[in-house]
Structure formats: C-alpha cells, structure tokens
Amino acid sequence: MPKDLLTRAVDDDLVAWVDDSPPPGMKKEINMKQVPGKGMGGLSAPTRRRRRDRVKKFRFIDLFAGIGGFHIGMAMNGGECVFTSEWDRWAAVTYRAWTGVEDVRTEDIRDLDFGSEIPDHDVLCAGFPCQPFSIAGVSKKNSLGRAHGFDDERQGNLFFAICEIAAVKRPAVLFLENVKNLKSHDGGNTFREISRLIDELGYEMRSAIVDARAWVPQHRERIFLVCFDRMRFTDDEIGMFRFPMPPTDHPVLGQILEEDPDPKYTLTDGLWTYLREYAEKHRAKGNGFGYGLVGPEDVARTMSARYYKDGSEILIRSNSGGNPRRLTISEATRLMGYTPEYARRLWYGDAGFPQVVSDTQAYRQLGNSVAPPVVEAIGALITKVLLQMKDRTGE
C-alpha cells in the first residue's frame, strides 16, 4: 500500500513512531489505524501515553501477573506499573502485547534481590498461584500423592515471597487475589496463617469473596485481600475502604457472542457423544460432573485453565440443533472482561486485544486470569483511600 494512503494527514514524527513501535503481535498497518483513531477519543497513541503519564496517581507492581488483569484494572484507576513478574513465558508474550510493557521478568521471583531489583511502589498487586488451594488442584494433588497448599514447594509457598517483598519494600497497600477455596483450605488453617502473617507484617487486612458475574457473564468467585499499612494509614482512612457493591445490570452471554463463529469451534460428533455419555455416567452415580450447555440469555460457569481440552464447562447451543461449540478466543477474551472498551482506552483502538499465542495457550491463560473489571472496581476504592493518605502526608 502506498505510504501516502496510510499516512495521509499524519505528522512525520507519528509516521516514524508507527514504523518503529507496533505492539508485539500487531502489524504496522493495524498500528497505523490507532494514530488518527476515533476509538480513543481522537488521540494518537503517543499522545494517549503522554496524557496518561500526566495523570499517574500511584505506582504499583504486578506479581504473578498472568496476562494483565491486575495491570488493566489498576491502570484504569491512574496507576503506573513499575515492575512486572510472570514466569510463564507464553503468558508474558500476551502480557507484553496487551499492556505495552516490554520488561516482564520471567525468572522465579524468589531468585531476585527484592531490595535492589524491585522498585519502590505504593500498591503490591499479586494473583498468587491458586492451584495449590483450588478444589480441583487439591483433588488432583491428593490423587497423585502430592503436597498442596503451603506444602507445595513450587507454588504454594510463593505467598511467603509476597510477605518478604512487603517487608523489604513496605508498600502502602497489598492487593491480593486467589481462589475462593483459599478460605476453607485445610479446614481454614491456611487462611488463618495468611491472616497471621499479614498482621505480623503490620498490615490491616480486609477480605471478601467477589463473584465477577456482576461484571461479566460468568460465575467466577474469587477471594480478594486488601491490606493497609497501619504505619501509613489512620484508622479512619482504613475504615473508609469497603468492597464495591456489584452492579445490578448483569450481563449475559448474548452480549459477547459472535454472530458467525468459525466452524472449527464446533464439537466433532465423537467428542459430543463422549461428553454426553460421560455426563450420563456421572448422573447415574449421583455426581454433578458434566458439560454446561448455555445460550445467549444465560450466564456461564467458571471458565477454567483446562477449557482448551474440550470446552465442556461452557458449550454454546447451536441455533440449528446441531452440535454445540466452544467459545471462540475472542468470545473467551470478552467473557473474562478483556473488553473492546479496555482495548480502546489502553492501546488498540477498535481492533480489540489481539491473539498472539496459540488457541491452547490463549484458553489456558484466560482460564487462569483475574477479571479486569473486578480489579478496576476494587482498585477504585483502594485508590480513594490511598490518595487521601497521600494528601494528608504529602507523599
């Protein structure tokens, strides 16, 4: 395509920027569309970034960052991400592409020098690994004779790394997320130990189980821990914080489904027969295992990291009465709350968040993710308290 057709009415410095800086996984021609873009209020991408730089309210770090759920939610509240750690290299590929952050640390967080390699920050965000505490994870580990919870050496004790970072860097707030089962794991002993450690660090903890269903068309209950440094906040300031009231206008699947999905997502006859027979076998035993068949007016079950295997927990009915289908990658992205609106506000204009990994990796990453709208809603109330403290102390 001739250059003048691509760059008509665009300044030379912006043309150079587009040539040099498309996000990973984005073609230059798509990146060019962002420059005059109407989807971001008519601002070019460099202008948007400069404007965001002028309104940064606080600094946060993103640990066990996944594909950017915490990043997006906190950025919407004026946060600047100053450090990111995610040891899954494919998740890091998506994170870089979706957030624009290039420096994602992929080594084991426990191998870092916390004092010198992690910058000072106001909020420590961490969706620490949930498999050691999840119902499915515990069941699988038990069946294999493996340790779970804090006894899981690879993942379970990563919570202690969070405590060590908090002790060294003393962020004002810890903002943590895990599976609902964290609270009941090991008869409640795990959660009591977490509460004790946070208290000994000098933080006042608030916790709640929040269902993302109020923000996305999916039942997705997760526990959130918000912890305030008692040395920085007054009792009144800590008392200001409340978990958000869920919106009452609940979304349904029809709002994220595509009209003409690729036929490759339709289940084969063999897989559909297998899933029905498997469900019937467990129903006969009085078990609840089986597929979840839903339509446009429904709300989905929780999407899990195993969705790539057969899609059984969320199958979309066929309008013609044929075999159901999996969610497409774009649908699954929106189901998790990575909406076109976030894409417009952050980086991609009307193009949405691009798929930059395989279908298998994309499903796995989305199933492991935190929902950005929930983070944004809780983060807005954290930010309110944090900024009041900063105004009082002059930080």
Asked if 261 and 327 sit in the same domain, the reply is yes
Asked if 110 and 243 sit in the same domain, the reply is yes
Q: What is the 3-state secondary structure (H, E, C) of the chain?
A: CCHHHHHCCCCHHHHHHHHHCCCCCCCHHHHHHCCCCCCCCCCCHHHHHHHHHHCCCEEEEEECCCCCHHHHHHHCCCEEEEEEECCCHHHHHHHHHHHCCCCEECCCHHHCCHHHHCCCCCEEEECCCCCCCCHHHHHHHHHCCCCCHHHCCCCCCHHHHHHHHHHHHCCCEEEEEEEHHHCCHHHHHHHHHHHHHHHHCCEEEEEEEEEHHHCCCECCEEEEEEEEECCCCCHHHHHHCCCCCCCCCCCCHHHCCCCCCCHHHECCHHHHHHHHHHHHHHHHCCCCCCCCEECCCCCECCCCCCHHHHCCCCEECCCCCCCCECCCHHHHHHHCCCCHHHHHHHCCHHHCCCCCCCHHHHHHHHHHCCCHHHHHHHHHHHHHHHHHHHHHHCC
Residue 1 lies in a domain: no
Say what the pLDDT of residue 131 is: 57
Asked if 357 and 386 sit in the same domain, the reply is no
Query: Could you tell me the residue range of the domain that residue 260 belongs to?
Result: 253-339+348-366
The stretches in the chain having pLDDT less than 50 are: 1-54, 132-156
Asked if 240 and 265 sit in the same domain, the reply is no
Asked if 143 and 109 sit in the same domain, the reply is yes
Question: Which CATH number characterizes residue 229's domain?
Answer: 3.40.50.150
Query: Can 130 be counted among the known catalytic residues?
Result: yes
Residue 85 lies in a domain: yes
Say what the pLDDT of residue 320 is: 87
Each residue's pLDDT tens digit, 81-104: 999 999 999 999 999 999 999 999
Asked if 302 and 379 sit in the same domain, the reply is no
Residue 231 lies in a domain: yes
Residue 32 lies in a domain: no
Asked if 355 and 374 sit in the same domain, the reply is no
Residue 14 lies in a domain: no
Say what the pLDDT of residue 261 is: 96
Asked if 220 and 146 sit in the same domain, the reply is yes
Residue 327 lies in a domain: yes
Asked if 87 and 75 sit in the same domain, the reply is yes
Say what the pLDDT of residue 284 is: 76
Residue 10 lies in a domain: no
Each residue's pLDDT tens digit, 335-389: 999 999 999 988 767 778 999 999 999 999 999 999 999 999 999 999 999 999 9
Of 81, 125, 130, 227, the catalytic one is 130
What is the total count of domains within the chain? 2
Say what the pLDDT of residue 184 is: 86
Asked if 136 and 271 sit in the same domain, the reply is no
Question: Which CATH number characterizes residue 334's domain?
Answer: 3.90.120.10
Asked if 225 and 275 sit in the same domain, the reply is no
Say what the pLDDT of residue 130 is: 64
Residue 92 lies in a domain: yes
Q: Considering the entire predicted model, what is its pTM? A: 0.81
Asked if 137 and 175 sit in the same domain, the reply is yes
Say what the pLDDT of residue 34 is: 36
